[in-house]
Structure formats: C-alpha cells, structure tokens
Structure 1
Amino acid sequence: MSMHAPPVPPLAATAPTTSDVPTMDVDPFSDEVLVDPLPFHEALRETGPLVLLERYGIYGMGRYEEVHAALVDWQGFQSAAGVGLSNFRRETPWRPPSLLLETDPPHHDAPRHVLEPILAPRSLRRLRERWAAAAETFVDELLEREEVDAVRDIAETFPLRVFPDAVGLPQEGRQHLLPYGDHLFNAFGPDNHLVEKGKARIGAIAASVDAQCRRDVLSPDGFGAQIWAAADRGDITHAQAPTIVRSLLSAGVDTTVHALGGVLQGFLRFPDQWQVLRAQPSRARVAFDEAIRWESPVQTFFRTATRDIAVAGGVVPEGEKILMFLGSANHDPRRWHDPDRFDLDRDPSGHVGFGMGIHQCVGQHVARLEAESLLHALARRVERIEPAGEPRRHLNNTMRAWASMPVRLVAA
C-alpha cells in the first residue's frame, strides 16, 4: 500500500474565467478623467492586469506588460473590428475604415508596405535641411513677440507649415485638418458630448479632407503623389490610394501637434531639462520620445478578441473589446523608474505611445523630424521658456492635448 497521496494538479491547470476579472465602475471618458487621467490609471493598474470596465462592458489593461503583449498580438486582438469603442462586427463605421489602423494582414500588408519606404528616415533626408531652415525662420518670428501661446502659435503652427507641403496638399482646405483629426479621435470613444459637438460640421470637413486626397490636386513631388505612383505600379489599387493619403492626414497632424504641446509642457514643468537640451541639442529626439512616453498624446486604443484569450488569470471572451491604456502603460512603475518625471537622461525607447508591433505608427519618423527641427532651433535661440499664464486642457476621447499654454520665450 502506497504511503504517498496522489499529486495535486497545479493551480495553472484550472482555466481562468471571466469571473476572475476584477471590475471598476469608472467612466474613463468622463471630463474628470480626461483632464487628469493619472489617478485613474494608478487605480486601474492596482486593481489588476485585466479589469472589466462595467460602464461600457469592455475589458481594460493599464499595466505595461499586458498592454505591450496585446499590441503585438494582432492575431489574438484584431484591429479590423475597429480601434475604437464601436465594434465593426456589430455596427457600421461612420466612415470607411482606415486601411492601416483598422485592418489586419493580409489586407493591412500592401498599404503598409507602400508607406514604409516613403516615410522611412532615409527617404526623409531631403526634408531635413528644408525643415531646419523653416524652423529657424519660425523661431525668429516667435522671438519678435513678448509672449506666445505654445499650443496655438508653436505646436499647431509649425507642423501645419511643413507637413501639408511634404504630403503635397493644396492650400485650400488645410484649415480642416485639425478639426477633422479631433473628431476622428473623439469618435474612437463613446458617443458623448465631445462627439456630439463635432457632428454638425464633420460632413463638410470630411468631404474637404477627402477632396485633398485626389491625385489631380496633389503636387507631383510629395508623399501623396508617391502613394498614387504605387497604385500605378500595381502595389495597391487606385481605389485604395486616396484612403491611404487620408490616413496620413488623419494620423499625421493632431498626434504631432499634441506631442509638441507635451514636450513644451515637459520643459515648463521641468525647466532643468530645457538646460540639458540647450547644452546638448542632439538630445532633441530623446526629448520628443520622452514626451511621447510622459504625456502620451494617444492615450487609448481598442482591439477585439478573435477567440477566448487568457490574460493574467482572466479571460477576454471572443468578440469582446479590450481598451489598452497606452498612457497608463507609459507611467507603469513596474516598467519605468520615477515615471511621472520628464527626464532626458531616461531611455524612453520602449514606450508604447506610438503603438507596437505591425500597427506601430508608420509616420513616427516624420513626427520625430518635425520635432527635432523645431527643438534644435528653439534650443539654440531660447535661453528659457517661462509660463505666462495658466495652461488649459483640450478634451478629446483619445488624445491627451492642450488647448492653450501661454509662455514667455527668453532669447539667448
């Protein structure tokens, strides 16, 4: 007779269930959270690696490890059902889905392969001198004024000077780019008052943006013309070309604007870091990426489970939405030391502010070059950036943004 008891199965052998997921009854799209999401993010991370957000019946992730894993798992968490709260399996999207953000392989492959070489660092070399000169002229103009609004006069103005020209857009209609992007990123969230305020104008604005993507209005030497040339080669269809140009306009303006607002706010909050940049302007790129981590202009993205997926002791059922809090992951103390500090001595390269995996932002090198050009010019000419009034947040369901940031630029 054996004296040994039968082996006990390990705990991991018990399949996790949806009942193992803790819940939170907080609206992450409330004005209070959008103004200052950091307290909610901390509560979300401490509640668990996977949390059921009862208000919308969706699953939330706020810790770096789980957010990163979900971003790279396009097979398990698809983008094709929409990267917003709306589930394209059950609802009709308000506009034709993006061929980059809202598709998965194989449909995602051709548009991505067309854009990658057009927006690669090597291809952008021809713009470096032009944008550096534009930044020098721009800073000259800023220094003629005693005070400026760092949002309206800097973060919004410089990208809209250089980026539309690089795409090859006509002058007519450029004023619609920021309102279009604002509504687009609002529409990724619930149908709240932020979405409602844009509905009256979005039809005309969207029509204007679509018109700017036509071949006949684009200049022959910009990104847009290169996309249409790819259609002529058969790399994409001619029907896809304007939608891919539109992706550049919807994702390439607001994100850069709000990232620049974030980096300027970082220097206001941590003025010692401005002196670090002045001493070493080569750190401009690090400063921009640290701002993407610290401010996280794109705060959230949704995915949809393609099957029942176990996540850290819980289960996301097939067909259900997950909400990845990129801003929370970028402040997770499990991954980042002193995460609430804007610090140019940090290596921010692991941040998820541009996404991760096959859907990582294809235009990130363009945004970095815009920021690098501007920050180099400012660092050479501006001794201090001082607050000249209270900054004010701009609320958006997806973006962390500023509406106003009065500053005083003290010339070197």
Structure 2
Amino acid sequence: MKPAEAEAVPNLAIDPFDKVFLGDPYAYHDMIREAGPVVWLDSVGAFAMARYEEVKDSLRDHETFCSSRGVGTLDFAKETPFRPPSLLLEADPPLHDRTRSMMNRIVSLKALKELRPRWQAKAEELVDRLVERRRFDAVKDLSEIFPMMIFPDTIGLRDDGREHLLDYATIVFNAFGPDNDVLREGNEGKEAAIEWVAEACKRDNLKEGGWGMAVFEAADRGECTHEEAERLVRSFLSAGVDTTVNGIGHMVLALAGHPEEYQKLRSNPSLVRRAFEESLRWDSTVQTFFRTTTKRVEVGGAEIPEGQKVLLFLAAANRDPLHWDEPDAFRIERNTSGHVGFGFGIHQCLGQMVARLEGELIGTAIAERVASIRLTGAPVRRLNNTLHAIDSVPVEVEPA
C-alpha cells in the first residue's frame, strides 16, 4: 500500500528492474538524482535515493535502515526468502557483529598476504597465455577464469561441480529483485547450482586447511553454531565470485575504452589499485540494494514511515556530480575514497579485500605485459536484477 508520505515526494514512472533500465541504468540516474533526495517508485512500491550523501548516510545508519528484513524487494518480516537469510548481508547487530568479526579473522590481511605469491603466479601465468593469443574475451577467458583458478581452493571446496559457483551468484543477486522475466530467464537451467552449494558448504565436503573449514573450527570453539557455519561458508560463495568476475571485467573494459588512461597505468603500474577502485566507482558491479526503515525518519526534508522499503542506487551515488568531479569520466588518478561500490558501513562486502587483491594482480600483470589494449567488438551485458553484469568483452592486445 502506498503511504501518504509518498505523495509529498517526486513520484517517478520508471521501473529499475525493467530490461531496458537494467541494460543501461546510467541513462536514468540523472533523472532520479535531479528529482530530489528521496523519490517514490510506484513500480516497486518503495522509496528510493540516488544521491551520494543520502545513499552513504543510509548505508551507514544500520539502526534506522536495517538489513535483517532483506536487502531485496522481499520484506522478511512478512515474506520468506528462497534460502535462509545471510548471517552477514541480511543480519543486523548484535548477530551481524558476532558473525562478521569471526569472518574478518578468517579473511584477514595476514591470510591474504600468505596467499598473494600463489595468486600472483596464477595471474601472471593466465595473462601470459592470453597475451600470446593476442585476441581473447576479457570475461570468458580472464575475469571468469582467474577467480575460479584460486577462490575454490582457498575456500577448500570439493573438486567436482565448481562450475556451479558462477550460476549460484547469478541466482542470489537476481533474487534481490522482483519475480520478473529477468529473474526467470537468468535462473533458467541453473537449479542444480543451489543444491550443489548446499552440499558443498557441509563440513564433510570441505577440504582441510581452507577458509571453509576454518569457519567450522570456529564453530567448534563456540564462536557460532554448526548450522550457522554452513550459512557463513555459503556467504563466501556469493561474496567472492560474481562481484569479482564483473569487477575485473569492468576494469579491462574501462582501460580498453580509455587508452590514454591505460598508458598512464603503463607508465606508473603503482596506480593499479586506483585504477581498480575507479573502475568500481565508474561502473559499479552492484547497482542497488534495499533497506527497510525501523522507525519514521526524515531524509532531505522528506518523511519516510517505519517499515518502508527504500531502494538505494549505489551506482548512481558513485556518479553523483554533487560529490564527484566529472563523474562520468574514467580517471585512474582520481581519489575514489568513500565510493559505495562495495557498500558502506558495517555491511560492506565481505569479499572486498579478495576482489581488490585479484583486481590488483590481474591489472599489474596486464600493465607489465601489454603495450596497448583495444576493444574488437561491442561488450555484451548479462541482465541481472542487482548486478551490472558483463558477459563478453572482446579485446586485442599488443605485447609489450
């Protein structure tokens, strides 16, 4: 039911989950931002925000804009999700604090430092093979391949069925949107992925020495229950795959489309971290997330009642001209501090350090081996209710 407060804010006749919108969301973001700090979308029956300050403040204020009632269209206080809620993404304190602090001890800087030499060797090996070919698909041959070379072994997943990981991430992020054609078409033929992940996260199917088994060892120490451990291992599989695949794909797309920026990276490879962060800001993999208000709140002069879904346009916030200088431009020397590509506040993406390291390693390997990179065809998008996913980026490289 549309609340009376919705009549006091701009009402926009757009559907952010329509195929046309999802195919090119940036064509609509100016309209949403310029309409006001808070708008109402009849298509989803929710308030929405697209300006940087309001989006960032809402992500930070987890007490008012909660996640435990779902970060998608479903309100978990009234509806049942397709799988048990995440104990990280769809949880609030004190549960979230307990589980997140435990997982942060596993996915630590120390752990990543130990993994870095092995991951770097894999990145260099993969890029060497692709440079030798000269022409390749930066998604199919690179950004989908590299995470699958290293991440399943890091978690300690069983060897069979690992191909289901990419399908599972698609299903999870699609489910944050409505039950529409994008959801049904995107999930078609991927049903086996849910069953495989459920089995793969069980203790008996995990290998010793991986992050997955480390979660169960934490459960043995009483830091969580063993049922919670299965769900926390599952969180690795949605946080550490598809977002990284698209993040690396977008970085290569950005560099190929901006040769002058790529030459800056060639001249100064230490800019690779900034290049990856700028690609996340410039084309955010995760476009939107919902929150639910726990009380009546005023935002930018607008009143939002308790119990209302609020759609936060993360990608629009990352290109808000009120915050960023020339926001549509891709500039690797830009200071991107505070971008919300990984969220903001306590619910920032669990896999962000993994994604950043993978992006750095691939970006460095390319900068050291490739003199130039160019697109040989139009990029192909893969529609998803939450992700600005990319299916193909055909490129040709000139060896250094």
Q: Same fold (TM over 0.5)?
A: yes
Match of 2:175 in 1: 187
Gaps of 5+ in 1: 1-15
Match of 1:272 in 2: 260
Q: After TM superposition, give the deviation of residue 208 of structure 1 in Å.
A: 0.2
Which residues of 2 match residues 9-408 of structure 1 at below 5 A? 17-408=5-396
Secondary structure of the 1:247 match is helix
Q: CA separation in 2, counterparts of 1:375 and 1:94? A: 36
TM-score, length of structure 2 as denominator length:
0.97
Q: After TM superposition, give the deviation of residue 17 of structure 1 in Å.
A: 4.5
Q: After TM superposition, give the deviation of residue 197 of structure 1 in Å.
A: 2.2
Q: After TM superposition, give the deviation of residue 20 of structure 1 in Å.
A: 2.1
Verify the 8 A CA contact 2:164 2:192 in the aligned structure 1.
Answer: no
Secondary structure of the 1:393 match is strand
Q: After TM superposition, give the deviation of residue 146 of structure 1 in Å.
A: 3.1
Verify the 8 A CA contact 1:173 1:209 in the aligned structure 2.
Answer: no
Q: After TM superposition, give the deviation of residue 284 of structure 1 in Å.
A: 1.3
Secondary structure of the 2:276 match is helix
Verify the 8 A CA contact 1:21 1:313 in the aligned structure 2.
Answer: no
Secondary structure of the 1:240 match is helix
Secondary structure of the 2:226 match is coil
Q: CA separation in 2, counterparts of 1:223 and 1:288? A: 25
Q: CA separation in 2, counterparts of 1:117 and 1:288? A: 25
Q: Which amino acid aligns with 1:30?
A: D
Distance 1:199 1:403, change over 3 A: closer
Verify the 8 A CA contact 2:239 2:350 in the aligned structure 1.
Answer: no
Q: After TM superposition, give the deviation of residue 355 of structure 1 in Å.
A: 0.6
Superposition RMSD in Å? 1.3
Q: After TM superposition, give the deviation of residue 361 of structure 1 in Å.
A: 1.2
Q: CA separation in 2, counterparts of 1:80 and 1:30? A: 26
Larger Rg: 1
Q: Which amino acid aligns with 1:241?
A: A
Q: After TM superposition, give the deviation of residue 198 of structure 1 in Å.
A: 4.6
Cα offsets for 1:154-177 (capped at 9, x unmatched): 111111111111111122121101
Q: Which amino acid aligns with 1:93?
A: P
Q: After TM superposition, give the deviation of residue 200 of structure 1 in Å.
A: 4.9
Secondary structure of the 1:174 match is coil
Q: After TM superposition, give the deviation of residue 202 of structure 1 in Å.
A: 4.6
Verify the 8 A CA contact 1:20 1:313 in the aligned structure 2.
Answer: no
Q: After TM superposition, give the deviation of residue 123 of structure 1 in Å.
A: 2.1
Cα offsets for 1:231-288 (capped at 9, x unmatched): 1111111111111000000121000000111111110221111111111212111111
Count of residue correspondences: 397
Q: Which amino acid aligns with 1:33?
A: F
Q: CA separation in 1, counterparts of 2:37 and 2:15? A: 18
Verify the 8 A CA contact 1:85 1:321 in the aligned structure 2.
Answer: yes
Q: CA separation in 2, counterparts of 1:48 and 1:268? A: 35
- Identity percentage over the alignment? 49
Gaps of 5+ in 2: none
Q: CA separation in 2, counterparts of 1:195 and 1:284? A: 35
Q: Which amino acid aligns with 1:210?
A: A
Cα offsets for 1:145-204 (capped at 9, x unmatched): 131011111111111111111111122121101111111111101111111125554542
Secondary structure of the 2:95 match is coil
Q: CA separation in 2, counterparts of 1:355 and 1:142? A: 32
